[in-house]
Amino acid sequence: MQEIELKFLVPESRLKGLMRQAKVKSSQVTQLAAHYYDTPDQQLAQAGIGLRIRQEGDAWVQTIKAGGDGIAARLEHNATLDNEQVQNMLENNALMPDLTIYKDSLIAPALTDFKLKKLAKKLTRLYVTDVERTTRLLIEDTSDEVVNSIEMAYDYGEIIHGTDDTQRDAIQEVEFELIAGELDFLFTTAKTWCQRHKLCLSTVTKAERGGLLIKGQNYSSATAADLSTLSINKKITMPAFLRAVVHNCLLQILPNSSAIVAGSKDNDHILQLSIGIERLHTVLQAFDSFSDEINPDWSAILQQTATLLADYRKLAHLSNHIEPMLQQHGAPIVDWTADIDAIKITPVTAISANDFQIMLLELIAFTMSDPSLEPQTDKLAINKLEKVLIKYYDKLLEAEQYLEDSYDDSDSELEKESIIKALHNLHAHLKNLCSISELVAPLYSKKKTKRWLKRAVKAQKALGQQLNMIDCQQYYQCKASSDSAALYAAGWLNAASIPIEKATEKHLDKFYDCSVFW
């Protein structure tokens, strides 16, 4: 069976209002005590699998979950256990899952990498959850006699370390699971509750949170783009291709945004979220003609959010990376704390914004919708990609020409500002072209794309490093008006950028000399 559900974190300020909607006459309250199992080195968790035995009212149920078909979908297998046997095992502290029941089940493919007998011997109880669940059924009767129904479940409780019950993590989340009917009803309902109660999407399962508790971590590591998860071929249609690449971008965005709304201030989460947002914005701009279901508001929201994140990220980068490096080279301390505190919109406020959260829901719904229902379902993506690639390559060449023209300005100060602007413009176009090319590469010759992408990515990274040094130098130069200690850093960064500039020119020349792969 495949469960389709959406999970949200509940802001403390909205909890009372949500509870009024959750605890109605028809709602039910159930105490859930769950025992989660894995190997000591968490092999199941690494494979995206969660295994538990949970008391649900008077029954004990063994459940296994694994990745499903879509961001909001997971494979799930439930088996009701014999109560007497469970009680006997509990009394002897020997409660363990029975893996033999999965041998011929629909979940079996998710366990193909494991030898079940060997796995069973390694399993141990890593953590338990103690949760009070309030459930309510949301039903919509449609005119065509199809009944849409969703189970809304509010969970309140904690995760407890399996061997040290002093280590605990609070649970306060709401889930919407499609029981029957149309997928659109799930997303429409979730959007309504999200708007009303300022809910924030979270892709972090209880199993993941338990794994983090065992490791002594609050959040998972930042998630970078993973092109190996992109499943496309030369026969893919335009609407299906766009859904696949949007899905790939969301796989980078959602884990990082989930960590941030949960409280992470880690620079890597913010960086990878920013990269994911920029990739997605480029995708929606480049392939907007591939689907009739693209909402033009998505691009505007992505662009606005990226800008808001950039302001905070630059100052955090100065404080956490550039400043320690400068101090190693003897620079006096420059404190950026007041500048960071002065930023009105932090990453968590930007990501928690209702329009951003609603957009994420709409994008997930888009990736899970049926591409064959679109008018262009008979058109292959491969036949349109060359036109897109040429368009973005020509924009890059125009940006390069703009850069060359900027060097001709007679006024030195104006020339410097113009050159920096031109470099940023060139980098933006090169980054866009790289993002598109990496996504379409599986549809072209591996030999040609590998060589071209290698040079393109090196040029992009070198130019990005050069611009980072320039931007940091400008920040310190500006800071020097109120803190003279920043003058040393500004001078040091200016000198350090010279060899980086030469390396960038070298990488760009190699890239321009390389034949395109399309």
Give the burial class of 96: count Cβ atoms within 10 A of its Cβ; 0-12 exposed, 13-18 middle, 19 or more buried.
middle
Please identify which residue in the block is written with the tokens 């399962």: 205
Nearest to 516 by CA among 396, 384, 402, 379: 396
CA pair distance 12, 440, nearest whole angstrom: 43
Instruction: Confirm if 179 and 149 have CB atoms less than 8 A apart.
Output: yes
CA pair distance 200, 202, nearest whole angstrom: 6
| CA distances, 300 to each of 260, 262, 495 (Å) | 21, 25, 38
Please identify which residue in the block is written with the tokens 């310190």: 476
Record the tokens describing residue 263, joined without a space: 């409280």
| CA distances, 263 to each of 210, 310, 458 (Å) | 17, 18, 34
- Amino acid, res. 201: L
Residue 62 DSSP label: E
- Amino acid, res. 157: G
**Amino acid 413: pLDDT:** 65
Question: How many residues comprise the chain?
Answer: 518
- Amino acid, res. 504: T
CA pair distance 500, 490, nearest whole angstrom: 16
Please identify which residue in the block is written with the tokens 């792969």: 517
Give the three-state DSSP class for 334.
coil
CA pair distance 80, 1, nearest whole angstrom: 15
Whole-model pTM: value is: 0.92
| CA distances, 202 to each of 50, 134, 174, 217 (Å) | 17, 19, 10, 17
Instruction: Write down the number of H helices and E strands in the chain.
Output: 17, 9
- Amino acid, res. 416: K
Task: State the helix-helix crossing angle for 412-440 and 382-406, rounded to 10 degrees.
Answer: 170
**Amino acid 412: pLDDT:** 66
**Amino acid 104: pLDDT:** 84
Residue 320 DSSP label: I
**Amino acid 303: pLDDT:** 97
The C-alpha angle with vertex 401 and arms to 399 and 403, in degrees rounded to 5, equals 70
Q: Which long-range contacts (CB under 8 A, 24 or more apart) does 102-105 make?
A: 102/64, 102/77, 105/77
- Give Cα 470 distance to the centre of its chain: 29
pLDDT digits (tens), the chain, 518 positions: 788 999 999 998 899 999 888 888 889 999 999 999 999 999 999 998 999 999 988 899 999 999 887 888 889 999 999 999 999 999 998 999 999 999 888 898 889 999 999 999 999 999 999 999 999 999 987 666 778 999 999 999 999 998 898 999 999 999 999 999 999 999 999 999 999 999 999 999 999 999 999 999 999 999 999 999 999 999 999 999 999 999 999 999 999 999 999 999 999 999 999 999 999 999 999 999 999 999 999 999 999 999 999 989 999 999 999 999 999 999 999 999 999 999 989 999 999 999 999 999 999 999 999 999 999 999 999 999 999 999 999 999 999 999 988 876 556 666 788 899 999 999 999 999 999 999 999 999 999 999 999 999 999 999 999 999 999 999 999 999 999 999 999 999 999 999 999 999 999 999 999 999 99
Q: Which long-range contacts (CB under 8 A, 24 or more apart) does 384-389 make?
A: 384/238, 384/289, 384/290, 385/440, 385/443, 385/518, 386/518, 388/286, 388/287, 388/436, 389/433, 389/436, 389/437, 389/440, 389/516, 389/518
CA pair distance 508, 301, nearest whole angstrom: 32
Q: Please, which residues have CB within 8 angstroms of residue 407's CB and are 6 or more apart in sequence?
A: 415, 419
What's the chain's Rg over C-alpha atoms? 26
Nearest to 280 by CA among 352, 366, 220: 366
Q: Please, which residues have CB within 8 angstroms of residue 490's CB and are 6 or more apart in sequence?
A: 473, 476, 477, 480
**Amino acid 508: pLDDT:** 97
Neighbours of 435 (CB within 10 A): 23
- Give Cα 1 distance to the centre of its chain: 25
